[in-house]
Structure 1
Amino acid sequence: MSSDAFLGGRRRSRLKCTILCCQLQHSTNSVYLQKAEQDKYSSVDQATSYLHVQSLRKFPIEKLDGEVAVVRLDSAHLMEPLEPCNLSLKNTLLTIKYLYEARAKVVIVTSWDTVLQSHNPVLMSTEALAEYLTLLLQVGVIPVNGVPGLTSVKQEELVQNDIILFENLRNFKGEVSNCNDFSHKLASGAAIFVNDSFLLSHKILASTVGITRFCYGSLAGFQFEEELKQLLTITDTTRHPYIAIIGGSNFLRNLPALHLLASLCDGLFFVGKISFQIMNGLGISVPSHFVERHATAEVLQFIHDAHARNVSIYYPTDMWCLNNDDNEEMGIFNSSDLTCGEYC
């Protein structure tokens, strides 16, 4: 079983709780609400100007009329509950609706792990996701399979006032390799690229980097803006305990950020592949092929430094495991049972 079989990351974890974050309405006074709205956009402006990010919100709306706009979405937000306080889903849908109402031809590209298809009917096919998006947006969404690009779209579908959804980008090697030809096909006919997948913005993919070579405008969507703002204000909180949830992999690459978080937080909760490095450093047996051997010394030093600062370290106590051959669920196992043998 490979490392992909242990699902401890953001998209695959089965946590037994749901956290809902709602902004409390302090006052119904119109002056207060107007100031709050101004403060919100002020912080967004500071975030986007600081990192030189051009936003969809500040882009001249008249320049969108008649243009083809490719929107890179984070499919995880689409799977979230449709609730009033779910700002991630709300902002994601707002990006699409804003472009659509500005009379742009909207083309959606996104990706999802095929392992999730057996657990979520919406992700079973491009057609199923298009039907779900149609329900959310109340606008027709046309599924298009095959190599992404307007050349794959029928002429009659192009002239319709509908949104186009391309096939799962994970099905194409050109996406991960940031292939120039694949990027060109992805951008075919498009003038505007809107990135609303902040989670993937650090990755060099055809749908986040390569496509920008062929579009004259590259913009941040509303959800991208919101997540960027949250990142830049992460140290402003005065609430305690202050816990950071850390996922991903490659311990050494993330070490500077980990040291920064350890200096700010009361506790660090590790999930995903990076949690195996922490567990190994704490003396917990994990399958050897999950351990980044070249980072062992740095892991031990980091744990020592965190403990010296009285920063608590947390890791998953159990793991949901799959069989890599057929994606069949094997069950949930205690972390202490993840030894080389029966489960790896």
Structure 2
Amino acid sequence: MADIKSIDDADLAGKKVLVRVDFNVPLKNGEVTDDTRIRAALPTIQKLIDSRARVILVSHLGRPKGKGFEADFSLKPAAQRLSEILAMPVVFASDTVGGDAKEKAAALKDGNVLVLENLRFDSREKSNDADFCRELANLADVYVNDAFGTAHRAHASTAGVAKLLPAYAGYLMQKEVETITGMLDAPKRPFVAILGGSKVSDKIKVIDSLLDKADTLIIGGAMCFTFLLAQGKDVGSSLKEDDWVDRAAQMIEKAKTNGVKLLLPQDVVAAGAIDENAECEVVSVDDIPSDMMGLDIGPVTSRVYSEAIAQASSVFWNGPMGVFEMEPFAAGTKAVAQAVADNALADTIIGGGDSVAAVNKFNLADKMTFISTGGGASMELVQGEALPGVEALRR
């Protein structure tokens, strides 16, 4: 990110600094249940406080309708949690660019922190509306983007406002981009990539990109059944994408051409339905009953995948191996997570989304080199896409 200015390059003392953070945190009964994303922004927030900046934090939370305040999506609980973590008062404004926000932003003293209400209560945020961008910019002197998780969105707070103020990258944004692109551009080899999830169509560009970079590509989750279909196997009632079978066959051929070892399941845990109490059995991928669906990789596959991961010097993982939220179908994802955690010598990146939920569920997060906060953004970075939130910061 040599062509992007860091907050270390800026004189921020006494300046009002508008910071796009990702406080899209889970809430229950008006309280934050997981503050991982708030803590991820702390290095940048603390740097700004220590620099005597006047800090104005903006974020979205959830998917409100964009027609005004909705109590279930208020950022007030996130502001309260931040106040607890920082052990200092954090001011909260009940709007984003209205009278309360303007008044509280103007009243800030050096080292103060203000959190504005949910950006997406205003539909102009997602449409990158020029007037909304100006109204946001008018609150501050400087703009900082530290929300990698939304960097793939060209919204007012991630792209538009960066053109109206001196713009800098926060520490989290820098670390995310540099870590992921660093692994992709110059991985320590062998480089093992692990992809899971439900649909090949969602990951086809990522698969294509990784087949140009990885030494081994491991496929799990329901997307594996489209690949198995491409190999001529009968996958029973498993989730599959018939329209993508030919494309999957092309990916199998590309792996052979590029000398990439493509690992697909040899056995699966099958059941008649996605149900915690369903009757399960381990079956070979050559013998999946017509009335059953594969919902996790089986023990043989888990062992093969774990052995491949153990030999890696770099590991990138995005997507679970099965329906890991349900105990009967969690073993495969747990085995892969454990294998990644056990390879202490490898650079290991967890590429956001459900993979993060999995390593947290199995209490293995502290064993990973790097956990990305942005599932969609990290995937677009892997497939070589320009991220609007990053491009807006370029000099």
Shift in Å, 1:175: 1.8
Partner letter of residue 78 of structure 2?
L
Tell me the residue number matched to 1:163.
113
> 2:160 is matched with which residue: 210, 214, 217?
210
* Deviation larger for 203-212 or 236-245: 236-245
Cα deviation code 1:263-282 (max 9, x no counterpart)? 333234577xxx65x64454
Shift in Å, 1:231: 1.9
Distance in 2 separating the partners of 1:246 and 1:184: 41
Tell me the residue number matched to 2:93.
144
Q: 1:67 to 1:267 in 2, by over 3 A?
A: same
CA contact (8 A) 1:306 1:312 kept: no
Partner letter of residue 179 of structure 1?
D
Q: 1:198 to 1:302 in 2, by over 3 A?
A: same
* Deviation larger for 91-100 or 242-251: 242-251
Distance in 2 separating the partners of 1:156 and 1:200: 26
Cα deviation code 1:303-336 (max 9, x no counterpart)? 443477322257642276xxxxxxxxxx89979x
> 1:317 is matched with which residue: 322, 329, 349?
322
> 1:127 is matched with which residue: 69, 76, 79?
76
CA contact (8 A) 2:24 2:62 kept: no
Q: Secondary structure at the match of 1:202?
A: coil
Q: 1:95 to 1:156 in 2, by over 3 A?
A: closer
Tell me the residue number matched to 1:196.
146
Tell me the residue number matched to 1:233.
182
Q: Secondary structure at the match of 1:173?
A: coil
Tell me the residue number matched to 1:22.
none
> 1:179 is matched with which residue: 123, 126, 129?
129
Distance in 2 separating the partners of 1:223 and 1:333: 36
Cα deviation code 1:167-190 (max 9, x no counterpart)? 223333222211112222222231
Distance in 2 separating the partners of 1:334 and 1:170: 36
Shift in Å, 1:193: 0.9
Q: CA RMSD in A?
A: 3.9
Distance in 1 separating the partners of 2:84 and 2:163: 33
Shift in Å, 1:107: 0.7
Partner letter of residue 143 of structure 2?
F
TM-score using structure 2 length = 0.53
* Paired residues for 1:24-103 under 5 Å: 48-49=1-2, 52-59=3-10, 61=11, 64-75=12-23, 92-103=41-52
Distance in 2 separating the partners of 1:227 and 1:74: 13
CA contact (8 A) 1:252 1:298 kept: no
Partner letter of residue 174 of structure 2?
E
Partner letter of residue 323 of structure 2?
D
Tell me the residue number matched to 1:33.
none
Distance in 1 separating the partners of 2:25 and 2:6: 19
Give 5+ residue unaligned stretches, structure 1.
1-47, 116-122, 321-330, 336-344
CA contact (8 A) 1:126 1:144 kept: no
Distance in 1 separating the partners of 2:97 and 2:199: 32
TM-score using structure 1 length = 0.59
Partner letter of residue 322 of structure 2?
T
> 1:263 is matched with which residue: 171, 191, 212?
212
Q: 1:142 to 1:182 in 2, by over 3 A?
A: same
Cα deviation code 1:163-214 (max 9, x no counterpart)? 1111223333222211112222222231211111123222211111111132
CA contact (8 A) 1:186 1:211 kept: yes
Corresponding pairs, count: 252
CA contact (8 A) 1:91 1:222 kept: no
Distance in 1 separating the partners of 2:85 and 2:78: 10
Distance in 1 separating the partners of 2:146 and 2:187: 25
CA contact (8 A) 2:24 2:59 kept: no
CA contact (8 A) 2:73 2:118 kept: no
Q: 1:232 to 1:317 in 2, by over 3 A?
A: closer
Tell me the residue number matched to 1:39.
none
